[in-house]
Every structure is written in C-alpha cells, then in structure tokens.
Amino acid sequence: MTLRCFLSGLSRSCLKRLVLCTALTLSLQGCQTLKNVQSQFAGGTYQTFDGKMIDAAQSRITPPVEETLYTTLLDKVKITDGEDEVGFNVSAKYNKEREAALRGLSARDLEMREFQARSVEELSGPGAAALNSYLSGIVDRLLDQWPHDRPEVSIVVIKSDEYDAEISSNNIIRLTTPVLLNADDEDEVAAVVAHELGHALFQHHNADDQAAIDNKSLMALTSYSSAILLDNSQSAATQNAAQALLFGGYGIYKLNDNILHNSWKRYQEDEADLLAVDLLYAAGYDWERAITMLERLTHEEKRETRRKNETVRQIDELNRSLTSPVDITTAFNNGLAELSGELSNLQSSLTADHAPADQRLREVKLYLQREYMRAGIPPAADQASLEKVVWEGPGFSAIKKSVYGERARILAERGEYDEARELALKALDGRDDTDPSARYVLYLARKHEGDIDKATYNLDMARQDSQAGLNIFTLLRDEYVNQEKWDDALDIWQKALIRFPKHITMDTYLPERISILTRAGRLIEAQTEVEFCVQNTASTYLKALCQNAIRPADEQVANIQPDNNPLAE
C-alpha cells in the first residue's frame, strides 16, 4: 500500500498513512528501548537464564550482519549527528574484507596496521615469542571446552603501564604487560583470557554492528518521512507532525546511543564474566580466579579514581587561589559548576560502557553461589608455570622494562627517588632508549636532586617516544618556560599540537602560545597572534582568552566564562 502511494503520488490519504506508519515504528522502537532500559536495572544477568552460561550460550551468539538489498540501499544514505556519522557502511566493511583476502592479508596483518595507526607497541624479541607461545597454549586449552563452532583467536602482549586486556574485531586478544606482572598464577591469567574469549565466542562485535544499523535505520526513516511531509503540505498540522516525527526519532536515537547502548555493553561484560567461569571450570583451572581477576580490577579502578580525584583537587585549589566569589554572579557560577559536577557523575554512571568492577564482582559471586556450590574445592592454582616463563625464563628478558618501570613508578610516587632512579636506569636499554615511563621517573628524581638540566633532558628524551603522552609535552613546555627558553617552549607546544590534534584545541593552544610570547617580552608577536585569534574565530570565549593572555599576569582575569554559560556576556 505504501509503495503504491509513492508510485501514484503522495495524496492526503498517503500522507496520513506515512505519518501513521512512521509514528507506529517510533512507538514500537520507543517501547522496546524503554523495555531494554528497564531490564538493565531489573536484576543481574545471571538471572536471565537457567543453568550454566556455557549451556545457554548458543541462543546468545549474534550472527554477522549480512549484505542485503536493504543494507545496500541504507549504505547510500548518510546520516550525521553533528560531525559524527550515524551507523556504518556494510558494503564498505565487506569490500575491505574481500580486498584483504585478495591481498593475502591475515587478521594479524590487519591488527598490526591498526597498532601503527594508534601508536600501540607490541612486545617484541625472543622473549616475547616465548610469552606468546605460553599464552597461546592457555587460549587453546580454554577454547577446547567450547561446545560450538570454534573461532580463530590469537593473542599478543602490548607494552603499557595500564592493567588492561581487550579483544579486537580481528579476534586478537591484546594483553598488557601489567596483567602478567600482577598475576599470582597461570589460573589468574587464564581468567583474564577467558573473559576476552567470551566476547569473541558470543560475537559481541556483531551485536555492535547490528545496533549501529538499527540506529541509522531509525534516523533515516524519521528524517526522510519528515522531509516528505514538509515538502508536500504547508498545513500547520502536517508541519507539526513532521517536526514531532523528527524530534521523536532523534530522541529515541540519543537514548539508544547514550544510555541503552552502554547499558547493553555492560550486559555483554556480564556475559563474558559468567562464561569465563564456565570455561575455567571445564578447562581444569581454578574457576574462582574469576573473582581474583575482578578484585584486582576493582583495585586498579580505585587507584585510577584516586589519581583523577587528586588531579581535580589540585585544579580546584589552584582556582581558589586565583579567585574567590566576590559577587552574586560569581557565586552563582560556582554553584552551577558544583551542580554540573553532580549531574556529570550521574551521567557517567549511566553512560559508562563497563560496569564498575565491584558490581561485576557481585554478579560473579552470585553466579558461583548458584551453579558451583556443589562443585567441590577448586584445583590448586598453577603458580610454577607462570613463574617459569614470566619470571625465570626467556619471557623475563622481554618484560624486564615493565618490571623495573612499574616498581620505579611506585617508588617515585612514594618520594623514594634514589631507589626509583636506579630501577628506572635498569629499565632503559642504553642511553638512546626513550621509554617514557622510565624517563619520567628519571625526570622526577633529577628534579628532586635539583639537577634541572638532566631533568629536562629526560623529558626531551621521553617526548621522542611514540608512547609519550600529552603530559610529557606540557611538562617539558613548562620547564622551558621556567628556564626562559622561549623558543624551545614554543617549539614543543607546536609539536604537541601536531601530535595530539584531538586533545589540544584552539581554546588551549592559542592562549598558551600568546602567554609564552608575552612572558618572553615579544609583545609585537603576541599582539599579532591576538589579532589572528579575534579575526578568525566566532567564539567570544576564545577571543576573551586570547585577549586575557597578553595582559601582564597580575592583570589577567581568572574566571572567564565559556560561551555556553548562561551568565556569560
């Protein structure tokens, strides 16, 4: 009927049908969205099935998205939300896979390309090969227990200071060195690996693809229906109906994308946790090591939270030292900032795509209580195998940098700089090693000793490393400023802009550059930068920051408000 309307022209009755069909689709989608949101708060994932997760897994596996006439047509439609494109292109995905196959590129080849694009560094050398072989044995032992079609999964060890593991869309598990360094035994490593295998076995990446297509379909339907209505009738009722369809579709999309999607991602984490328990049990590992893994993750999350809170506290203290509320407007702004912080915390809890580790821990404990109370005592964990490869065998030669570097970092945080310096030096492979973690510790130690030249040298070495973060660049910039090495400070700030274009915006870059020029006494250059800023931005906030930066420090305004502040002029 709807197709006949399009072929014969859009009559009034056809317009009504179009509105009703689209409204019905939105209603059904909205009801499903609310139902799914409610399910996220109704109880644990373990309550959604009976028996063991591994026995209920078949019905939870998400098949891949297939190329169809519908997806081909949908691929021709481009829907954007701001600068981001909604959905993804199915044809492009399969064309990329076919091209990779024709060129003989393996999953590992594709993974290495992604590593290069993201500046991720894989552990290398003979010791790394021994570690990969050992971990591949754990993967095989766990996969042997999977009763359904077995996917091809491999594993690599990544150089990093963060305790983390993830599985890519290429079915390659990325395990960071701290996972190996912090594990007490092979069974704990197997628990981490089993969790990541859970994502591969359930094919969660396919679910992500399907959700992206559903969102794009919803937005395409409401956008085109609204456009047709607006073009074919000028009546107020039709115009209002078109706007209602458009806003309704966008509202459901944002709810799906910002809250439901992340809630359902947390649901996937639960599935992987519970399947990990079953795989550990079936493979003869200590299945309670799933609890150990989550306890360690809880500890890591708390450590990261403390670090972030300390950073926020230092910023707040700095702000208070610069200005205090002297009138009702400033006081009201501070009140809005505190309220915004509370709302931000609430939003973070809803939009985080991983549930807090302590919540996942409770879920696993309840599942163990239900399914494994009669399983008896778990087998003794295998500590010897892990120590033989990681701590005593060739694997240690590959991860010694991480061993020494992690210990040096902890000692530096405690203020024990002498021992931290010695361990950081052991972590370096010669004078030309730019390892940013070790060099940062050496920077702290040398600065504590009062040797500013060596401290700066270590920061400059660190920033040359592909793994160096923005903090290394900003620290080096500030050291150059303190030493009145103005050209070096400007140069390193320019390099930081090139290296971190997504993190350094014009709001950050230009005012800081102007400030450095002003402190250097190069006022003509500073004024030129201010004029460029004023002439090339529509943001009154950025203009104010640039104009403020050229003033002497004792005249600068400390509480310039962004454009979106309702009290800003």
* Backbone CA torsion sign across 356, 117, 125, 470: negative
Summarised one tens digit per residue, pLDDT across range 321-378 is: 444 443 444 444 444 444 444 444 444 443 445 667 888 899 999 999 999 999 999 9
The reported pLDDT for the residue numbered 85 is: 72
Alpha-carbon gap, residue 13 to 19, rounded angstroms: 10
Average pLDDT over residues 139-159: 92
What pLDDT band is residue 168 in, cutting at 50, 70 and 90?
Answer: confident
The reported pLDDT for the residue numbered 138 is: 97
Q: Which of 6-20, 66-80, 82-96, 352-366 has the lowest average pLDDT? A: 6-20
The reported pLDDT for the residue numbered 4 is: 41
Summarised one tens digit per residue, pLDDT across range 532-552 is: 988 888 778 888 888 888 886
Q: What angle do CA 383, 385, 390 make, to 5 degrees?
A: 95
The reported pLDDT for the residue numbered 7 is: 35
| pLDDT of 5 above 60 | no
The phi-psi region of residue 152 (left if phi > 0; otherwise alpha if psi is between -120 and 50; otherwise beta) is beta
Q: What does the chain come to in residues?
A: 569
More confident residue, 492 or 556: 492
| pLDDT of 95 above 90 | no
Q: Which of 18-32, 502-516, 525-539, 555-569 has the lowest average pLDDT? A: 555-569
Q: What is the average pLDDT value for the chain, to the nearest integer?
A: 77
- pTM of the full structure: 0.65
81: nearest Cα among 209, 216, 205: 216
Alpha-carbon gap, residue 390 to 526, rounded angstroms: 55
Q: Which of 127-141, 229-243, 520-534 has the lowest average pLDDT? A: 229-243
Q: Which of 268-282, 335-349, 481-495 has the lowest average pLDDT? A: 335-349
| pLDDT of 270 above 50 | yes
What residue type is 395 in one-letter code? G
Percentage helix, strand, coil for the chain under 3-state DSSP, each rounded to 5? 70, 5, 25
| pLDDT of 123 above 60 | yes
Q: What are phi and psi of 85, to 5 degrees?
A: -85, 135
More confident residue, 563 or 228: 228
| pLDDT of 525 above 80 | yes
| pLDDT of 318 above 70 | no
User: At 496, is the secondary structure helix, strand, or coil?
Assistant: helix
What residue type is 108 in one-letter code? R
395: nearest Cα among 107, 183, 153: 183
Summarised one tens digit per residue, pLDDT across range 406-453 is: 788 888 988 999 999 999 998 888 899 998 989 999 999 999 999 999
Distances (CA, A) of 105 to 67, 98, 102, 136: 22, 10, 8, 21
| pLDDT of 261 above 60 | no
Q: What are the helix (H) ranges across 43-87?
A: 53-56, 69-75
User: Structure tokens of 226?
Assistant: 């609204």
More confident residue, 94 or 200: 200
User: Structure tokens of 310?
Assistant: 């300390």
Q: Which of 125-134, 295-304, 330-339, 523-532 has the lowest average pLDDT? A: 330-339
Q: Give the strands of the sheet with 165-167, arranged side by side.
A: 154-158, 172-176, 165-167
Alpha-carbon gap, residue 557 to 550, rounded angstroms: 11
What residue type is 515 in one-letter code? S
User: At 559, is the secondary structure helix, strand, or coil?
Assistant: coil
- Which residue's structure tokens are 């809890």? 349
User: Structure tokens of 26?
Assistant: 């939105």
Average pLDDT over residues 473-480: 95
Alpha-carbon gap, residue 381 to 282, rounded angstroms: 14
Highest-confidence segment of 111-115, 117-121, 248-252, 268-272: 268-272
| pLDDT of 57 above 70 | yes
The reported pLDDT for the residue numbered 39 is: 43
| pLDDT of 501 above 60 | yes
| Whole-number percent of the chain with pLDDT over 70 | 72
